[in-house]
Amino acid sequence: MRNWRGRAGFAGVVAALMLSFLGAALPTASNAQTLPRTTDGHPNLSGIWQALNTANWDIQQHAAGPGPVVALGAVGAVPPGLGIVEGNELPYLPAAAAKKRENLENSLTADPEIKCYMPGVPRATYMPYPFQIVQTSKYVLMAYEYAGATRTIFMDKAPPSAADSWMGHSVGHWEGDTLVVDVTAQNDETWFDRAGNFHSDALHVIERYTPLSADAFTYEATIEDPKVFSRPWKISMPLYRRLEKNAQLMEFKCVEFVEELMYGHLRKQSGK
């Protein structure tokens, strides 16, 4: 009986702490009043941010597992994750579901991340690297540490997209304190994660950045791709400000790391 009461008391303390934490994290009127703002009154998102999850390995809920190179052991293992997909279901069309399985089987050579290709949207947001936001009234610049990727969100007059690209064409507007970004014109060369989840050139992403406090905001993205999925689906996660002294993006120009992988077979063999 004593053990049961002890466990019940401990559970009560944990529940109280969780409720307290959740209450502190939820946006309130007082939080909205204390948010840093630009001169035009919008929340100031400028700074260096990073996701703290394992979505880059798999956007769906997943257990820990071995990586694609068994010889790397724990160093190459897949960390577990709760997933970022609402409902934890990806509504693949039948042919697309087969393609996803094929991607996973060949991920060691097929994943665009391995080849240092631009990550695309939304994957750039939750890769295990920081990114920087520089905000003005007309533009919001996103600079990502991975591969030196960048994109510009047009907040005023947006020129039409000249062609599909790795990071797409981003047009933004404000809905209250939420930055809403419409992303189109992405090519079909990027994946959502290392698990082989993919899209076509018909991908349409609506992003929403909603401040929770001065140092955290909620990131949501609605994904639509009628060539691959039977309906739109959504991901969401918190993003956190990097608070280290002199926080900054470092260089991660990974092109030089993949030269052997990409072009080693073209090397002239000795004696030929």
Is 152 part of a structural domain of the chain?
yes
Say what the pLDDT of residue 2 is: 44
What are 10-66's pLDDT values in tens digits?
445 444 444 444 454 555 545 667 899 999 999 999 999 999 999 999 999 999 999
Is 41 part of a structural domain of the chain?
yes
pTM for the model stands at: 0.85
Instruction: Using alpha carbons, list the distances in angstroms from residue 142 to 125, 186, 239, 249, 262.
Output: 10, 16, 14, 12, 28
Is 6 part of a structural domain of the chain?
no
Is 71 part of a structural domain of the chain?
no
How does the average pLDDT of the chain come out, rounded?
Answer: 89
In terms of residue numbers, what domain contains 131? 32-52+88-266
Say what the pLDDT of residue 268 is: 67
Q: Which CATH number does the domain housing residue 39 bear? A: 2.40.128.20
CA distance 182 to 159: 14
For the chain, what is the domain count? 1
Say what the pLDDT of residue 14 is: 46
Choose between 220 and 263: higher pLDDT. Answer: 220
Is 18 part of a structural domain of the chain?
no
Is 158 part of a structural domain of the chain?
yes
Say what the pLDDT of residue 28 is: 52
Q: Which of 249, 241, 44 is nearest to 136 (CA)?
A: 44
Is 239 part of a structural domain of the chain?
yes
Instruction: Decide: residue 98, CB within 10 A, 0-12 exposed, 13-18 middle, 19+ buried.
Output: exposed
What is the distance of C-alpha 224 from the center of its chain? Answer: 16
CB 49 within 8 A of CB 241: yes
Choose between 112 and 272: higher pLDDT. Answer: 112
What are 220-232's pLDDT values in tens digits?
999 999 999 999 9
Is 22 part of a structural domain of the chain?
no
